[in-house]
Every structure is written in C-alpha cells, then in structure tokens.
RNA sequence: UGCCCGAUGGUGUAAUGGUAGCACAAACGACUCUGACUCGUUUUGUCUAGGUUCGAGUCCUAGUCGGGCAGCCA
C-alpha cells in the first residue's frame, strides 16, 4: 500500500468531498467552537457496509477537525428495537474505528441526562459528552431525551405551533392528500392552547389508547412537500421500551426527535442519506420554532452505498438470515460488519474502501471489484504467507528416503522490509494442489504435467516420472524425482522452471476445514430483482478439508494469512478450536491465468 | 402525476468560469521461487438542445434519463 492512499496514515491527504468542503468553510469562519458529528443508528438490526460508509464519513470528519462524533441510538420506536442490536452496533462501531478515530468517539458519562441551564438568558438543555477516558462511559440515546423533548413539545403548543389531533390513522392519511393533491386541515387544528396542553398532558399520563390521538406540528396542509403537511410529532404507544422501560407511553417520531437530539448534543453537522433531503425543511422548522440559544445543527445528505452483487436492504437481509440462506448475522457472506469481521476483512480495509468510493449525492452502483481490490491491497501488506493445499493430490518423491526430513526456509512476508522466515519440512510424500497437475495440459500450462518439471516453492524442482491411477482411471498419486541440487544453498538453486507451486508434507501437516466463500448473488444488482432469492449463488460457500503446513496449528483469528497462490484466509472466530482448525477465505488472490 | 435531488470513460470519483485528472476494471508488455505483488504502455468520458462569456463539465433556460418523498417506521 502506498502511503498516500492510506487515510489512516498521518501523512495522508485528507479526503475531500462536498460535505467536508462545507465543514472546512465552517471551520475557517470559526462558526462553531468544535465540530461535532454523530452516527445515529436505530437499534433494530445489524450494521452493514452502508453504515460503515456513514461511520467513516462522520468519524472521519471528526478526526480531521479535532472534533467529536457521538454514537447515538435513535431509539424512538420501541416496537422495533432490541438490546441485542444496541450491543452489536457498539461492538461493530468500536471495531471499525479502533486505532483510527476512537479518540473522537463521543460517549456520555454513565447514566448522564441532559443538564438544564441558561444560555444567553434563555433556558437550555445540553447533553454533554464525557471527557475521553471516563470510566463506564456509554453511548447517547435519543430516549434519554424524552423528558426534554416533552418540554419542547409543550413549548411548541404554547406558541401555537403544535396541536393535539384526534384523527384516526386512516383519516390522517386521507387528510394528508397526495404528492399532486393538497391536503386538508384537520378539524382539530384550531384547538385552543389550553385544550392542547390539557390533552397532551393526558396523552402522556396514559389516559388514551394507542392511536387515539397524536401531537402534530401546525405548518401547512397544502405544502408541496408532504413532510410539511402538519407532520406528527408524537404518537401513543403503550409498550415497554428497551431503554426507558414503562416510563413513557407517548413516543416522539423521527423528525421531531432527531433534530432536537442533534441540538441537545451540540451536533454541528448532521449527516444523513439523501432520502431525508425532503425532511430537511421540517428539521429546520422545528428548531426555528423553539427559541434555542445555542447554534443550531444543520443537516446534509449524501448518497448511500450500493455495491454490485450485494444487498443492503434490511428487510431482505432479515429474510436471508431467518430463512437460513446464510448462517446468522455474522455469516461471512453477508455485507454486515459482523460478517466482514468474521470473514477476515480488516477494519482498515473497510476504511480505505470508504475513502476510495467518495461522498456525493449521485446514486450509483460501485463495482464489487473496487471493494475486492481494497481488500487485497490491505491484506497483501499484513498477511503472513503460508502453504496450504485445498484439494490435495499425493506426490511421492522417489529419491527421498522414508523418514527423511529436509528442512526448507520459507519467507513469512516478502512485503516486509526485513522478512522473517520459518522452517518447512520436505518429506518423501507431499501433497500438491490437484489443479496444479494436468495429464493433458492446456496451452501455456506452467504447472506439473507428465514428464514435466515444476518448482516446489521454497524447496526444489521436481520432475513427474509416473502417473499412478486406480482401476477407475483416477489419478491416485504422482511419482516424481526431486532435484536436490536446486535447493537453497545448492549449486543449481538458480535453475529456472516456468512454474512454481505450493505444497505441504504429507506427514508433517495438519487437516483443516476451509470455507471458501464467494459472492452471495449471481447477478450484479440483486436488489433490483423482484424475487432476489432466485439469484442466490448456489456456490457461495464451498467447504473443503485442506492440508495445511503445521505452523498453522497456533493460528488465531487476529492473524491474517495468505495461503500462497490461493488467497487470503483467517481462522474462524466461532468454530475453530485447537486441534480442529477452521479457516475462512476472505478473498481469493487475483487470478489472471484462470480468466483466459 | 406535484415537489425535491442528481447526471463526467465500463465503474466510482476530481477539476469551485481557464490544460478533463485519479483509482478500479479491461488489454498488452516487463519482472517473478506466488500466473500474486510491483513496474511500464494502451483503450474509453463531460446526457441533449439552446443561451451568457474572450473562454462552460462548471453559470442560466428547457428537455431527457435516474433517484427520493404520500408510516402513528427510521
């Protein structure tokens, strides 16, 4: 990896995009004491690569400006949210930013609630971030702001900007009109402030059943922007909340809670995806109609990530998991962050990828090849090389005695400045990859063929003397002679042959389960298909029992390995155990030969 | 259909009125004890039509195409 393509390198140029340009202008104009962004997932599912883009953007801006990025759970809909997701999201975020932007992670002091105070003579609430290193610091929760949000709602009512509406859900929809047809005013729109106050207080007190009344902003039922047609601010839901329990039976809606949560936390740049563009006038309207003394946050939108051969829709991801097309949310074939981690994708590769795709408002489709390139680029630099034979075929080196062990030096990583080595045992019987032998070789075949020569990597050149077959005509073993003069230190070490292949000793090697993952879908845009499940790649997972060199006995999930000439692998964090090795293929090596 | 947003090689992006550049992909070549890596060469682009300007990918108008919005979801 070159230094200047690596955003985690201190000397690297910072990325530029239209949002960072805006932030830079705000910094230049000293509009804010500190740049504060936020990553605000709803805890209703696992994070995926699309979220990773957003995390890298928000935390990236924070770290580039000596600012902060709050992790906030946008948990205003208790019907959909669970603690399992709260926990997985924290794990994924911390993993993704570790060693890169963890010093910018905005958490609050344990149990902290927004503090009431006075700013510029006006009453104010502020949800401060805890100083770095605060013991027990925890993420922000929108649900921690329910009391303040309730106060703000009372204020809107008093100012005549909000009213309690008794329309049923169906009636509300009907009154709203449609994009090309203006809506009509609710018959409850002109209730007195006193009545609204009374009704809203009683909503909060639990006097009314679900759906009976709502609190609405009084804006304009004829607005061409549907989100300005008296949007709902609060609904009644008699349901326990994962974070606030039974404390509330009215819950704020996204548009109301989000802008105010941003404000409470002192967020300066609220960055979301383009589908919220039409919500921005409402975001601004709410903040403008409360007399908030501190600088108001502003919303900016960018296009979400689309990757070919992948699916990001939460609804569809759930189907894949629940209908057992994959094995759980961390299945390595899934575009979830948990899946990527288990597959062996380094966090830094994800960050680099986010850097390379850029940030725009254009709704494009990024080629999966760009993602794979970033992976290989990162993995190439950090992976230790190992020899592993995925589909073994036995070779007998007839001029090596049984029991004889010749030790070879193998380079751990040629990309290192001062590469280290490890010993490898060459014995009479070895395994090579079955696809590295062809009885009838295609043109330009560099590998082993009857009567042909090939080099066993780190060992010596061998010549195929005899092909042994069983009664069915299947090749069972190859009998070869080893030219020991071509070993390291030997007189003919520099003798060239066209092909060099990987191998392992038959007696000094280990069996390992190896999971060969491939793309989950067979079409570039599975999300565009009505029945996307018809396009699931039946070969997205192939499991083989491989022969791997014995040094892999102590392999850990923290390590990345390149099985030479094959691909990048890591130990499976769940299923691997001492004595029962399981490897996941992160990504194959580029193979320009196979394409021809 | 009303409103909002967008459009630069095959793909993702840069150029902030002044030489259309980068990365990926593709092709060819060099190197190679990984058909990897690395290095070199090459192919391909400003949606259309008008306008403003000495000069337009950039500004204006219209069109075309694409995306988004009508949950008491976020």
CA of A511 to C1' of B43 (A): 47
A236-249 average pLDDT score:
98
Calculate the angstrom distance between C1' of B69 and CA of A278. 6
Residue A268 sits at the vertex; the CA angle it makes with A267 and A273, to the nearest 5 degrees, is 85
Yes or no: say if A46 and A336 are a contact pair by the CB < 8 Å rule: yes
Residue A358 DSSP class: -
Residue nearest to nucleotide B11 (CA to C1'): A367
CATH number of the domain where residue A389 is located: 2.40.240.10
Q: By the 8 A CB rule, do A234 and A214 touch?
A: yes
The C1' atom of B46 and the CA atom of A498 lie apart, in whole Å, by 46
pLDDT value, residue A2: 33
* Residue A369 within any structural domain of the chain: yes
Supply the pLDDT for residue A6.
37
Which structural domain, as residue segments, surrounds residue A432? 383-507
CA of A370: nearest nucleotide by C1' is B24
Residue of least CA–C1' distance to B25: A369
pLDDT in tens, A291-337: 999 999 999 999 999 999 999 999 999 999 999 999 999 999 999 99
Residue A13 placed within a domain: no
Kind of pairing between the strands at A388-389 and A541-549 = antiparallel
Do residue A417 and residue A487 come from a single domain?
yes
> Do A138 and A212 belong together in one domain?
yes
Task: Count other Cβ atoms within 10 Å, centred on residue A437.
Answer: 22
Residues 6+ apart with CB under 8 A from A593: none
Kindly provide the b/e burial profile for residues A370-399, where b requires at least 16 CB atoms within 10 angstroms of the residue's own CB. Answer: ebbbbbbbbbbebbbbbbbbbebbbbbbee
Give the pLDDT band of residue A596 (cuts 50, 70, 90): low
pLDDT tens by residue, A478-526? 999 999 999 999 999 999 999 999 999 999 999 999 999 999 999 999 9
Tens digit of each residue's pLDDT (9 = 90 or more) over A377-394: 999 999 999 999 999 999
Confidence at residue A249, expressed as pLDDT on a 0 to 100 scale: 98
Query: Which residue's CA shows the smallest distance to C1' of B35?
Result: A593
Q: Taking residues A213-218, what's their average pLDDT?
A: 98
Q: Which nucleotide is nearest to A77 (CA to C1')?
A: B73
Q: Which of A285, A302, A319 is the last residue of a domain?
A: A302
Q: Using the CA of A25, which nucleotide's C1' is the nearest one?
A: B16
Beta bridge partners of A301: A272
> For the complex shown, is ipTM > 0.90?
yes
Q: Calculate the angstrom distance between C1' of B56 and CA of A441.
A: 59
Distance, CA of A2 to C1' of B39, in Å: 14
Digit-coded pLDDT (tens) for A31-87:
999 999 999 999 999 999 999 999 999 999 999 999 999 999 999 999 999 999 999
Alpha-carbon dihedral A547, A549, A554, A557, rounded to 10 degrees: -60
- Nearest nt to the CA of A257 via C1' is B74
A564 closest-nt by C1' vs CA: B34
For residue A521, the model assigns a pLDDT of 97
- Domain boundary among the residues A491, A507, A523 is at A507
Q: Is the pLDDT of residue A471 over 60?
A: yes
Tokens representing residue A351 in the block: 């960050």
Nearest residue for B37, CA–C1': A380
Domain-terminating residue out of A445, A475, A507: A507
Contact A344, A586 (CB under 8 A): yes
The reply to whether A36 and A77 lie within a common domain is yes
Do residue A65 and residue A139 come from a single domain? yes
Average the pLDDT over A359-372 and give the result.
97
Chain B nucleotides close to protein (CB under 7 A) are 1-8, 10-16, 23-27, 33-39, 66-74
What local confidence, expressed as pLDDT, does residue A595 receive? 65
CATH assignment at residue A69: 3.40.50.620
- For residues A386 and A574, give the distance between their C-alpha atoms in angstroms, rounded to a whole number: 22
**Contact A24/A44 with Cβ under 8 angstroms?**
no
Average pLDDT, chain A: 95
A468 and A534: one domain? no
A173 is written with which tokens? 């929809």
In a domain, A7, yes or no: no
Q: Number of folded domains in chain A?
A: 3
Q: Within this chain, do residues A125 and A239 fall inside the same structural domain, yes or no? A: yes
Q: How confident is the model at residue A12 (pLDDT cuts 50, 70, 90)?
A: low
| For range A203-223, the mean pLDDT | 98
- Through-space separation of residue A361 CA and nucleotide B47 C1' in angstroms: 17
* pLDDT tens digits, one per residue of A253-268: 999 999 999 999 999 9
Tens digits of per-residue pLDDT, A101-118?
999 999 999 999 999 999
A12 within domain boundaries: no
CA of A254 to C1' of B3 (A): 21
Confidence of residue A529 (pLDDT cuts 50, 70, 90): confident
Whole-number pLDDT of residue A594: 81
Q: How far is the CA of A404 from the C1' of B17 (A)?
A: 77
- pLDDT tens per residue, range A130-188: 998 899 999 999 999 999 999 999 999 999 999 999 999 999 999 999 999 999 999 99
């Amino acid at each position: 990896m070159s230094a200047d393509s690596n955003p985690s390198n201190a000397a690297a140029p910072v990325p530029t995009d239209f949002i960072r340009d805006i932030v830079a202008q705000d910094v230049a104009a000293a509009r804010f004491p500190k740049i504060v962004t936020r990553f605000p997932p709803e805890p209703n599912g696992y994070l995926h690569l699309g979220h990773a883009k957003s995390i890298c953007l928000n935390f990236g801006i924070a770290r580039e400006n000596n600012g902060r990025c709050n992790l906030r759970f946008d948990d205003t809909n208790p019907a959909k949210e669970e603690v399992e997701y709260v926990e997985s999201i924290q794990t994924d975020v911390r993993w993704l930013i570790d060693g890169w932007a963890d010093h910018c992670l905005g958490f609050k002091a344990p149990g902290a609630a927004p503090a009431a105070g006075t700013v510029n003579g006006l009453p104010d609430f502020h949800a401060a971030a805890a100083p770095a290193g605060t013991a027990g610091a925890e993420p922000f929760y929108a649900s921690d702001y329910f009391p303040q949000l309730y106060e703000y709602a009372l204020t809107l009512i008093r100012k005549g900007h909000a009213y309690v509406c008794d329309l049923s859900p169906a009636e509300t929809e009907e009154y709203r009109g449609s994009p090309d047809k203006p809506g009509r005013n609710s018959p409850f729109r002109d209730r007195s402030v006193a009545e609204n106050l009374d009704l809203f207080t009683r909503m909060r007190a639990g006097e009314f059943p679900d759906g009976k009344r709502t609190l609405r902003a009084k804006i304009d039922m004829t607005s061409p922007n549907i989100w300005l047609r008296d949007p709902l601010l609060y609904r009644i839901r008699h349901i326990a909340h994962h974070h606030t329990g039974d404390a509330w039976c009215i819950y704020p809606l996204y548009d109301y809670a989000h802008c105010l949560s941003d404000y409470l936390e002192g967020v300066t740049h609220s960055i979301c995806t383009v589908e919220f563009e039409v919500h921005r006038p409402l975001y601004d309207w709410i903040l403008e109609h409360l007399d908030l003394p501190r600088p108001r946050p502003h919303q900016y939108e960018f296009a979400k990530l689309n990757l070919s051969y992948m699916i990001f829709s939460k609804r569809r991801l759930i189907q894949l998991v629940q209908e057992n097309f994959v094995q759980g949310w961390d299945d390595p074939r899934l575009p979830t962050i948990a899946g990527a981690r288990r597959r062996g994708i380094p966090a830094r590769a994800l960050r680099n990828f986010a850097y390379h795709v850029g940030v725009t408002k254009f709704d494009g489709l990024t080629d999966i090849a760009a993602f794979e390139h970033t992976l290989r680029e990162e993995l190439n630099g950090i992976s230790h090389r190992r020899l592993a034979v995925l589909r073994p075929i036995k070779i007998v080196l007839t001029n090596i005695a049984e029991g004889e062990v010749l030790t070879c030096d193998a380079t751990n990583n040629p990309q290192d400045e001062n590469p280290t080595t490890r010993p490898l045992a060459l014995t009479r019987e070895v395994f090579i990859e079955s696809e590295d032998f062809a009885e009838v070789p295609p043109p330009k075949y560099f590998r082993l063929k009857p009567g042909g020569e090939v080099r066993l990597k780190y060992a010596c050149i061998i010549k195929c003397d005899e092909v042994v077959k069983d009664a069915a005509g299947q090749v069972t073993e190859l009998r070869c002679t080893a030219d020991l003069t071509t070993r390291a230190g030997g007189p003919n070490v520099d003798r060239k042959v066209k092909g060099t292949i990987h191998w392992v000793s038959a007696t000094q090697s280990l069996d390992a389960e190896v999971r060969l993952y491939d793309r989950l879908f067979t079409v570039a845009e599975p999300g565009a298909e009505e029945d996307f499940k018809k396009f699931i790649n039946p070969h997205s997972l192939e499991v083989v029992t491989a022969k791997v060199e014995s040094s892999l006995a102590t392999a850990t999930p923290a390590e990345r390995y390149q099985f030479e000439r094959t691909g990048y692998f890591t130990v499976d964090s769940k299923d691997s155990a001492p004595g029962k090795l399981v490897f996941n293929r992160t990504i194959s090596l580029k193979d320009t030969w196979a394409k021809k």
